[in-house]
Chain A
Amino acid sequence: MKNQANPWLTGNLFVLALGMLPAILLIGALLYFTAWAFAFSFTDLALVGKKSVEWSWVGFENFERLFTRRGFLESLWTTVIFVFFSAIVGQSVLGFLLAATLRGTQSSIRGVVEVCIMLGWLLPDIVAAFLWSATTSQTGLINQLFVVPFGFKPINFINDYALPIVTIANVWKGTAWSYLLFSAALDSVSREVVEAAKVDGATPFQRVWLVQLPIIRPHIATNMLFITIWTFTYFPLIFAMTGGGPGRQTETLAVFLYNQSFSRGNLGFGSAISVAMLLIVGVLSLFYLRMLREPK
């Protein structure tokens, strides 16, 4: 219905299509590559050696093994905890609160806080891993400031609390993204709307909750989707910090996937793991999509 009223669009369909062409080509390439990754999950393709050249189709064998062999289900549970606490509770909520709070503050405070969270985001993963394991080690900052001065024995955090530590490290590292996206989204809420709400006597909390949140609903849904995907597949920080251990305490699906695909060299099984991950996040994203479609 919009279209009919927009002659600058309808009159230029050819130009618009031309504009979409490069993206269509590149997306075609992407679909081609991912089709291979899909197909691999039904093969016994290996990373090196003979089976990397002469692989064969094995049907649903790889998918059966997800449930009949040790590893997948345990890792799935670890991943759910990691994603929920570090991405959804940590990064997303914290990022939004920061964006909403800092929106109205003087630029100096804003600048300092922004730099702080941006530093984590920009630090290479491997360095962030070293930094966090040094911070949580028995001679590290947390023990030296908060444990030893109070007369306790230094705590071996990575040994005793591995999953909470990598979760916190990931909040520290990733909040910048949610913050940036929410800041930009809040900026796109027209000022008149907020002012009008103010004139009508809305409290700051109401202005955020009833006026701004519904408007940036698509951004919230998008952000949830993005960070869920990224955190589900996020690998370098955990791998460098604990390698999935001790034992299998921090073996998220991404680490499990890496171990199966690269250490064990079974790309077929690895692809099956990732297809399963995709299905799980696919279901989650249906939920996010509802959030997008049903504005109050």
Chain B
Amino acid sequence: MENQPSRLTAIALAFMAVIWVSPFSWLVLNAFNPLSTGQLEIPKAFGFDNFGLAVSGNAGRQFLNSIIIAAGTATLSVIVGISAAYPLSRLRIPGRNAFLWTLVLLRMLPSAGVLVPLYFAAQRSGLLNQLGVIVALTILNLPFTLLLLKNFFDTVPIELEEAAYVEGASLIQIVTKIVLPMSRAGIAVVWFFSFTGAWNEFLLPLIFARVQDAFPMSVGLYAAFGQQGAINYGFLTAFSILYAAPAIGVYFLLRRNMNTGFAGVGVKG
């Protein structure tokens, strides 16, 4: 029942993939070139020196910090988001759409304006640490999370919930056994989105961290920028490959969920 792509489609897709991936030649050629200069050239030498440099020093600690911040933010965002988005989707609260859209719009105000009050609030509540970064990022994510999750819950047919209720299921059971599995793709997308956003966040962890060991990889990347603005391209490219890899790994772990949709769920309730 899956339609096979026509040959034309397949060629078009393959062509696109090549175009999309070709700029990476620069990244890879420089990363494996111990004498990298930042130019696009076939390396005269080949080696893992840059990767050795990238994993030396604090990289392990920074990797852990990145994981804590990213996974923490994503999980907290999704939990807070689900428990508010479900009522928002099901209860007829007047003006809920306009309210959510306004919230999303408000997030346009620059981090420059929000950063200063945010910093002072974190300082007053003793949150100038990783928990503070997680909470701050969750706050900043929340408008997006809520709107997205609500939209996904909206597409779950309410008839299924009725049927479950008639069969004696409680609210908690209805949510966990029916609504969440049916919105799995949406939840996975929201989780992944929060994860990558936090993974790449630079300024908040830089400003909130009180000790050297609290920096994540997004800060560590800047070790490539040396004196007088001289950039170590070998380090930069190797480090960024290592930096992007875990997030891609997470994508593949989640991919099944993002694409399952109805497949794994008893549609008839």
Direct contact of A and B (CB under 8 A): yes
The interface of chain A, by Cβ under 8 A from chain B, is 1-3, 5-9, 11-13, 15-17, 19-20, 22-24, 26-27, 29-34, 36-38, 40, 98, 101-102, 104-106, 109, 112-127, 130-132, 134-135, 137, 139-141, 144, 172, 177, 180-181, 183-185, 187-188, 190-191, 195, 204, 215, 218-219, 222, 225-226, 229, 232-233, 257-258, 261-262, 267, 270-271, 274-275, 277-278, 281-282, 285, 289, 292
Q: How many Å from the CB of A122 to the closest CB on chain B? A: 5
Q: Identify 7 new A-B residue pairs, CB closer than 8 A, beyond the known A109-B5, A184-B152.
A: A13-B91, A16-B86, A16-B91, A23-B142, A122-B248, A188-B152, A188-B261
Whole-angstrom CA separation of A135 from B86 in the bound complex = 46
Partner of B105, one of A116, A187, A204, A281: A281
With an 8 A cutoff between CB atoms, is B110 at the interface? yes
Who on chain A is nearest to B145 by CB? A23
Q: How many Å from the CB of B174 to the closest CB on chain A? A: 6
CB-CB under 8 A from B83, the residues of chain A are: 19-20, 22-23
Whole-angstrom CA separation of A130 from B194 in the bound complex = 25
Whole-angstrom CA separation of A274 from B103 in the bound complex = 15
Q: Assuming the A-B contacts A16-B87, A106-B4, are A33 and B80 also in contact, with contact meaning beta carbons closer than 8 angstroms in the complex?
A: no
A-B contact count (CB 8 A): 278
Partner of A117, one of B1, B20, B103, B260: B20
CB-CB under 8 A from B260, the residues of chain A are: 187
Say whether B90 contacts A6, CB under 8 Å: yes
Whole-angstrom CA separation of A31 from B107 in the bound complex = 10
Q: What are 20 A-B pairs with beta-carbon distances under 8 A?
A: A1-B92, A2-B90, A3-B92, A6-B90, A16-B87, A22-B80, A22-B84, A26-B135, A33-B118, A34-B106, A34-B114, A38-B109, A98-B16, A101-B13, A105-B5, A141-B22, A172-B20, A181-B189, A267-B112, A267-B116
Q: Assuming the A-B contacts A116-B20, A274-B113, are A123 and B244 also in contact, with contact meaning beta carbons closer than 8 angstroms in the complex?
A: yes
Whole-angstrom CA separation of A75 from B161 in the bound complex = 50
With an 8 A cutoff between CB atoms, is B17 at the interface? yes
Say whether A187 contacts B185, CB under 8 Å: yes
If over half of A's interface residues share one DSSP class (helix, strand or loop), that class is named, otherwise mixed; here it is: helix
Whole-angstrom CA separation of A281 from B109 in the bound complex = 11
Say whether B139 contacts A29, CB under 8 Å: yes
Say whether B118 contacts A139, CB under 8 Å: no
Say whether B112 contacts A270, CB under 8 Å: yes
Say whether A271 contacts B113, CB under 8 Å: yes
Q: Assuming the A-B contacts A37-B114, A172-B23, are A6 and B161 also in contact, with contact meaning beta carbons closer than 8 angstroms in the complex?
A: yes
Q: Assuming the A-B contacts A127-B27, A131-B26, A281-B105, are A184 and B84 also in contact, with contact meaning beta carbons closer than 8 angstroms in the complex?
A: no
Enumerate B136-152 residues with CB–CB distance to A below 8 Å: 138-140, 142-144, 146-148, 151-152
CB-CB under 8 A from B121, the residues of chain A are: 29, 33
Whole-angstrom CA separation of A185 from B189 in the bound complex = 10
Say whether B5 contacts A101, CB under 8 Å: yes
Say whether B110 contacts A233, CB under 8 Å: yes
CB-CB under 8 A from A3, the residues of chain B are: 91-92
CB-CB under 8 A from B139, the residues of chain A are: 26-27, 29-30, 33
Q: How many Å from the CB of A142 to the closest CB on chain B? A: 9
Q: Assuming the A-B contacts A17-B87, A29-B139, A101-B9, are A135 and B26 also in contact, with contact meaning beta carbons closer than 8 angstroms in the complex?
A: yes
Who on chain A is nearest to B24 by CB? A119
CB-CB under 8 A from A271, the residues of chain B are: 109-110, 112-113
Enumerate B32-55 residues with CB–CB distance to A below 8 Å: 38-41
Say whether B26 contacts A285, CB under 8 Å: no
Say whether A285 contacts B117, CB under 8 Å: no
With an 8 A cutoff between CB atoms, is B131 at the interface? no
Whole-angstrom CA separation of A180 from B157 in the bound complex = 22
Who on chain A is nearest to B138 by CB? A26
Who on chain B is nearest to A140 by CB? B40
Say whether A19 contacts B23, CB under 8 Å: no
Say whether A274 contacts B92, CB under 8 Å: no
With an 8 A cutoff between CB atoms, is B215 at the interface? no
With an 8 A cutoff between CB atoms, is B227 at the interface? no
Say whether A184 contacts B80, CB under 8 Å: no
Say whether A119 contacts B244, CB under 8 Å: yes
Say whether A229 contacts B104, CB under 8 Å: yes
Say whether A113 contacts B17, CB under 8 Å: yes
Enumerate B223-269 residues with CB–CB distance to A below 8 Å: 233, 236-237, 240, 243-244, 247-248, 251, 255, 258-262, 267
CB-CB under 8 A from B251, the residues of chain A are: 118, 122
CB-CB under 8 A from B17, the residues of chain A are: 112-113, 116
Partner of A30, one of B27, B97, B140: B140
Who on chain B is nearest to A215 by CB? B155
Whole-angstrom CA separation of A124 from B236 in the bound complex = 11
Say whether A40 contacts B105, CB under 8 Å: no
Whole-angstrom CA separation of A116 from B19 in the bound complex = 9
Whole-angstrom CA separation of A230 from B184 in the bound complex = 25
CB-CB under 8 A from A38, the residues of chain B are: 109
Task: Return the 3 tightest CB-CB contacts between A and B, nearest first.
Answer: A37-B113, A187-B261, A23-B84
CB-CB under 8 A from A258, the residues of chain B are: 112
Q: Assuming the A-B contacts A6-B162, A29-B139, A225-B101, are A188 and B40 also in contact, with contact meaning beta carbons closer than 8 angstroms in the complex?
A: no
